[in-house]
Amino acid sequence: MRGLLSTEVETVGGKTMFFDENITFIDLEASDRRDAIRKMALSLYDAKLVSETFERGVLEREDRFPTGLSVGTIGIAIPHTDADKVIKPQIAFASLKSPVKFCLMGTSDVEVDVSLIFMLALKKSEDQLTMLQRLMEIFEDQKLLSEFAECKSQEGLEQLLNQAGLK
């Protein structure tokens, strides 16, 4: 992913460090989309990666501009908000124990059962667009998406992220 984003991010051994294990959830239990967003945003806030207004910003944006996608048999959401609410760029990931409903992107009343969430916390709007485009390329690979949905360990997630070119 080197060179993919214009934002300077922390690197270790020359590798961009996204999807930190402290903001990664395998089998996250959430009662609904708001609960899932809250839990993920709180992990970003606790890690001092986003401001205290990040969660509210994500929830409000999701209400206005839904990010749910149905890709084959897998529902995905890509919640995010304005770059000014980000302190340090990062992407949080969650596979949900049970799917929750998100509104389908481009609609306000069509719901999709989401089991994978990629929450973007990026400092520049052009970086959000670049990452959204990169994620969409990955979402076209149904086999890879199935592997993300079936992943049950941080180590397995790391391998999938490397395979997808996100780590």
User: What is the rounded average pLDDT of the residues 146-167?
Assistant: 86
CB atoms within 10 A of CB 59: 16
How many whole angstroms from its chain centre is CA 36?
11
Phi/psi zone of residue 153: left (φ > 0), alpha (ψ -120 to 50 degrees), beta? beta
pTM comes to 0.86
Report the alpha-carbon distance of residue 97 to residue 29 in Å, rounded: 5
* The token pair that represents 30 in the structure block: 């959430």
Residue type, position 149, single letter = A
pLDDT, tens only, 120-144: 998 877 777 788 788 888 888 889 8
Tell me which of 163 and 165 has the higher pLDDT.
163
Q: Is 87 exposed, middle or buried (0-12, 13-18, 19+ CB in 10 A)?
A: middle
pLDDT of residue 167: 67
**pLDDT of the residue at 17:** 47
| pLDDT tens digits for range 32-88 | 999 999 999 999 999 999 999 999 999 999 999 999 999 989 999 999 998 899 999
**What was the pLDDT predicted at 134?**
81
Burial class (CB in 10 A: 0-12, 13-18, 19+), 77: buried
